[in-house]
Structure 1
């Protein structure tokens, strides 16, 4: 199937802006379709790690990101196809958008927006509208969203936060005037909310029982308020996917040797930010990937040759991380390649909000009142286990912490004229989140460094 046209039904869940209810609808739709017996492939536009966790819980398979800025526009359709094919071929793909439909990378004319991704995967859009304090203007808004880019096809609307039956009738009549079908209507009283904090929703891994209850409630909400048959019919209007399936083995050029080094990847409630393709690429490069939970595991898995510590919320677990003294000591002395992003950077420092961390890097970290958020085009300053000096990498920042100092004597990256991060021996640590499908050489380089 990987090189033949695949008539994969697919739909993009979008909105005019953040906060209209995309995640509610997308997660509930994934769960409701799965309850119908369909195999559903979940996807998220943009770099966000948290929404895909809810998608994965709803769909029963990994939530995957589609971000043209991080991986390149030419990889989007192949990555969609890969995600929909693994571990088994899906009956439908549901793609949740990011921000507003036409909002993308700043200053790039909609590049990496939901509309951009909808074009790249040739999928119809289902628009979620927060109808609070709106009447017929909802139809004008929908028409404007559609007319702004005629190459993006809005196939229907789901009304959210509808105030009353009369309000719903007014909205349906107005949208009928502009020829856009209403495929569902959710009242304000029926809303289901997931808990949030300083960087958005609380990740699924931190509240597994409660998250499962929320996903179940969202499935029931969508089943009661959305015309699932109409959504399926809309998804089936997408033409066959002709792009070849992304192949992690081809991306890294195959295994780097016959021996398979063990690479430990941090997981658990404190380190939930990881793209599914990271482990796939490491495996394709010849590694055995295992998970280590710094909150609970007293030591690295036996035979570990390299460690990857991604993002998450160590600030919410600083005391518990500090209490795991044996693992902190092992990481402080670990002599293999060690790659850390954002939360991993904080964990490798001396302290986080005065709680002792690993002490591998000579830095302290604190929560700050400032949100640092955005895409970055970074150049590697120093050779490291994941990049060669001079290599250009695209990534993103997403944190409310700061380190002192902000970078080491041997910085990891430079962007916007400023140096960032730390390279110390075989350690590479910074705030920059990267998607290795966009630079798969990182996985190959790391596995080679194990040898």
Structure 2
């Protein structure tokens, strides 16, 4: 059913990475939540870490909006689904405002998303090391694409009152509203490592303090009333909100019948990468979704009939994961029995024989190790053969993001044939009910994956 969505919304963007988008977006989410508003948090692109901070700031799931992984046609419906019942939506952009998938124009850029959502953009500008030049910079971003509405600027890393005065004068001359000024401060800093910020699940007490500091910084330096008025100026959206049951029906999946199988989903500090829509699709397909923590739980959830192990940082916790031998044995036994197991990136490493010399589950005869090389980017791929997630020939857009190397990189029955970018290659493993790959795929674009996994899951009372 198509409905008119009247939700105030803002897109937080920047000229480049490192300008302070995460601080501003998360701080705005927390500050408006502190005012008693229900805030819906969103993140452009495939980032899994920032949404964890967004969820902490708002008390709602952080949701990704990615035109490359899901297609441009799902941007509005997924936004409408996530923002249902909210008073305000804040969308954190990715990289620079006009940066998107390499070599594919505006695809997956913050600008494309802002246009799809008809949302005003708040441009976060690093004011350090410049004064009057800030006007030329902002003018260029505001005039590059007339369909992108720059509603104002938040100046970050401003050094002094005099520095602020110079920046404000320049932007006033350019006719651009200054909606906030943030001084240089370490209070809201969040630690990073080899793949970006440290996830919330690994540092929750410190993360709570960091989010509180971001909120205070925003309250002290930004005109929240002006930002609220800007958000309310966004026109209504006419969208059919994405619905997991409807998505399954649209994929030709019959409604679930019979007992609900338990699908165990790995979580905890080592496996923090997931999309909220995956669990919603599994539930709509008839599963009982039960989380577990491979760092702490020595048993899989009772009656587990299928397993989903997403991305994360197993390399950071390899000794602890290895030490949990009882759970590793249960995972191996479940896979050997033919139960469906879907593993992405970190999950792939966990199923391997070893990771940096530490024994893992041994489901796959492969060894993984950390390297200095970052593998990053969108991939177009096709299913090489039938698997628990997709029939042969299924085409997907996925994303790789890791610093590990697996030997061998593909099994006798690979998961995917990567067709772009670069020369064609195969990667991943299909082995019995196991589908393991480096490729992250958003199931909103492939809802049948959830249905196929649940259909193969062992149901309560059935012999495995």
Say if 1:132 and 1:163, in contact at 8 Å, map to a contact too. Answer: yes
What is the distance in 2 between the residues matched to 1:309 and 1:189? 38
Q: 1:211 aligns with which of 207, 210, 230?
A: 207
How far has the Cα of 1:3 moved from its partner?
A: 2.9
1:349 alignment partner in structure 2: 352
How far has the Cα of 1:170 moved from its partner?
A: 0.6
* Correspondence 1:424 to 2:427: no
Q: How does 1:288-327 map to 2 (within 5 A)?
A: 288-327=288-327
How far has the Cα of 1:33 moved from its partner?
A: 0.4
What 5-or-longer segments of structure 2 have no aligned partner? 459-464
* Correspondence 1:274 to 2:274: yes
How far has the Cα of 1:199 moved from its partner?
A: 0.2
Say if 1:256 and 1:447, in contact at 8 Å, map to a contact too. Answer: no
2:442 alignment partner in structure 1: 435
2:35 alignment partner in structure 1: 36
Q: How does 1:259-408 map to 2 (within 5 A)?
A: 259-334=259-334, 335=337, 336-408=339-411
Say if 1:351 and 1:364, in contact at 8 Å, map to a contact too. Answer: yes
3-state SS of paired residue (2:36): coil
2:453 alignment partner in structure 1: 446
3-state SS of paired residue (2:82): helix
Q: Deviations over 1:27-65 (max 9, x none)?
A: 011000000000000000000000000000001110000
Say if 2:187 and 2:213, in contact at 8 Å, map to a contact too. Answer: no
3-state SS of paired residue (1:314): coil
What is the distance in 2 between the residues matched to 1:100 and 1:271? 28
Q: Please, which moves more after superposition, 47-56 or 238-247?
A: 238-247
Query: TM-score under structure 1 normalisation?
Result: 0.98
Say if 1:190 and 1:221, in contact at 8 Å, map to a contact too. Answer: no
Q: Please, which moves more after superposition, 49-58 or 240-249?
A: 240-249
Q: 1:187 aligns with which of 175, 183, 188?
A: 183
What 5-or-longer segments of structure 1 have no aligned partner? none
What is the distance in 2 between the residues matched to 1:67 and 1:221? 29
Q: How does 1:194-233 map to 2 (within 5 A)?
A: 194-233=190-229
The aligned length equals 447
3-state SS of paired residue (2:398): strand
Say if 2:188 and 2:211, in contact at 8 Å, map to a contact too. Answer: no
How far has the Cα of 1:191 moved from its partner?
A: 5.3
Say if 1:161 and 1:191, in contact at 8 Å, map to a contact too. Answer: no
How far has the Cα of 1:376 moved from its partner?
A: 0.5
How far has the Cα of 1:275 moved from its partner?
A: 0.3
Say if 1:50 and 1:273, in contact at 8 Å, map to a contact too. Answer: yes
Q: Deviations over 1:188-224 (max 9, x none)?
A: 1365210110000000001111100101111111110
What is the distance in 2 between the residues matched to 1:24 and 1:388? 42
1:48 alignment partner in structure 2: 47
What is the distance in 1 between the residues matched to 2:70 and 2:17? 23
What is the distance in 2 between the residues matched to 1:137 and 1:78? 39
How far has the Cα of 1:259 moved from its partner?
A: 1.9
* Correspondence 1:138 to 2:134: yes
Say if 2:187 and 2:210, in contact at 8 Å, map to a contact too. Answer: no
Judging changes above 3 Å, is the alpha-carbon distance between structure 1 residues 190 and 325 closer, same or farther for their aligned structure 2 residues?
closer
How far has the Cα of 1:340 moved from its partner?
A: 0.3
Measured on the aligned residues, the alpha-carbon RMSD in Å equals: 0.9
1:7 alignment partner in structure 2: 6
Q: How does 1:148-167 map to 2 (within 5 A)?
A: 148-167=144-163
Q: Deviations over 1:166-196 (max 9, x none)?
A: 1101111111111110000011136521011
Say if 1:374 and 1:396, in contact at 8 Å, map to a contact too. Answer: yes
What is the distance in 1 between the residues matched to 2:223 and 2:233? 16
What is the distance in 1 between the residues matched to 2:130 and 2:160? 12
Say if 2:11 and 2:122, in contact at 8 Å, map to a contact too. Answer: yes
What is the distance in 2 between the residues matched to 1:129 and 1:258? 55
How far has the Cα of 1:67 moved from its partner?
A: 0.3
3-state SS of paired residue (2:47): coil
How far has the Cα of 1:241 moved from its partner?
A: 1.4
What is the distance in 2 between the residues matched to 1:363 and 1:111? 35
What is the distance in 1 between the residues matched to 2:5 and 2:68? 25
Query: TM-score under structure 2 normalisation?
Result: 0.95
3-state SS of paired residue (2:188): coil
3-state SS of paired residue (1:316): coil
